[in-house]
Structure 1
Amino acid sequence: MPITDQAALEFLMTRRSRPAKMLAPPVPTRSELEPILRAALRSPDHGKLEPWRLIVLERAALVRLADLVTARGGSLGRDENDTVKARAQFNDSHLAVAVIEVQKPSDKVPPIEQSYSAGAVCLGLLNAALASGWGANWLSGWPAHDRGFVDSGLGLAGHERVVGFVHIGTARAEPPERPRPDTESTVTWVSE
């Protein structure tokens, strides 16, 4: 019979992201962030390819990226409200980690599985930050998918892409509980 890690199971059953706009200083120090990053990188990685990397964005970098969002939004002709919202993601943040997918050539691990692995790093990072007592939120938005933004703002190579920005800080308030998926309507059991 398996031994249940009740504390871990309880954490997973009750975990809640904290809205990024509700995160404030203090943020983790480098030494406090290090175990969170290590935990995130223990995500499933078929073929041990490490098809991802992390970019830690501290306050000055986030302000620079907020300005770039405004510039890119204008040059792309994006709706002003869209640009203001996207800018706030960076301007209001004090620490974020960009999870970057880095596809690796492989005969055994197809690209989609490498994408799944990078997504697992985002979830691992989010959960590790929450389990460490910090507030955290996984966001993307149009800047994450704009080549001009990611190339000039983050220095990404052409074969790299942003999977998400995980914002980490101190939660100013608890978010309200929201409805969760119902297993009756989302799970199918196959017996034969």
Structure 2
Amino acid sequence: MNALDLLLQRRSIPRLAEPAPSGQTLENILQAGLRAPDHGALTPWQFVVCEGEGLTRLSQILVEAAKADGADDTAIEKAKQAPFRAPMVIAVIARTRFHEKVPTIEQHISAGCATQAMQMAAVAQGFQGFWRTGTFAYHPVVRQALDVDGDDAIVGFLYLGTPDCAPANAPTRDTSKYVKYL
């Protein structure tokens, strides 16, 4: 698949199974993230790879957050199972710093670009993924557990693995509804 086809056919695949990317494949994914646009060369990202026991730890963190909110048993169980929707989850954190020419929002967007690049690198190497944010990304318990404070932000959780279902066709969208020319 060439780069343009990769971008034009991008789909999130919500059902993922073993194996997860590993070795050089995983390194390529992480390196792709590190090539995201980065105004000021601030490298405003951190990637927290969760697999195996890391998924169990992430599950525990989400359960702690759900309990802190007074969630019912159903919501707690859903939080507990969330990390296991894929054999690997990469939490992507925008690690911001003050820069007179690079506002915080640009650093967050850069981390978002890193997430997209990693998903595309996974697909280019035969894996699949989906990007979720959700309320847990903003939850104080989760932020504290992942050492996220101040203007730093969890921009998403990138779930990666082997597709366990056929992807739906990518919809064709009418650009005239989304594009304006000056």
Which among 56, 60, 64 is matched to residue 63 of structure 1? 56
Shift of 1:144: 1.1
1:170 to 150, 159, 162: 162
Q: Give the Cα separation in 1 of the matches to 2:110 and 2:144.
A: 22
Residue correspondence of structure 1 range 38-187 to structure 2 within 5 A: 38-78=31-71, 80-152=73-145, 154-177=146-169, 179-187=171-179
The structure with the largest alpha-carbon Rg is: 1
Unaligned stretches of 5+ residues in structure 2: none
Aligned to 1:3: none
State the shift of 1:82 in Å.
Answer: 4.3
CA contact (8 A) 2:51 2:88 kept: yes
Unaligned ranges ≥5, structure 1 = 1-5
Q: Take 2:137 and 2:72, find their aligned partners in 1: how far apart are those partners?
A: 16
Q: In 2, distance between residues paired with 1:61 and 1:150?
A: 16
Q: Is the 8 A contact 1:26 1:170 kept in 2?
A: yes
Is the CA contact (8 Å cut-off) linking 1:59 and 1:93 kept in structure 2? Answer: no
Note closer, same or farther for the CA distance 1:174–1:132 as it changes in structure 2 (3 Å cut): same
**Aligned-pair distance for 1:128?**
1.0
Distance (Å, rounded) in 1 between the aligned partners of 2:157 and 2:43: 18
TM superposition shift of 1:25: 0.5
CA contact (8 A) 1:40 1:124 kept: yes
The answer as to 2:30 corresponding to 1:37 is yes
Secondary structure of the structure 1 residue equivalent to 2:2: helix
> What's the TM-score once normalised by structure 1's chain length?
0.85
Instruction: Specify the SS of the correspondent of 1:74.
Output: helix
Question: How many positions carry a matched residue from both structures?
Answer: 182
Alignment partners' CA distance in 1, 2:78 and 2:10 = 25
Check if 1:188 corresponds to 2:180.
yes
Structure 1 range deviating more: 76-85 or 44-53: 76-85
Question: Which residue identity lines up with residue 32 of structure 1 in the other structure?
Answer: T
Question: Residue 97 of structure 1: CA displacement?
Answer: 1.0
Are the counterparts in 2 of residues 99 and 118 from structure 1 also a CA contact under 8 Å? yes
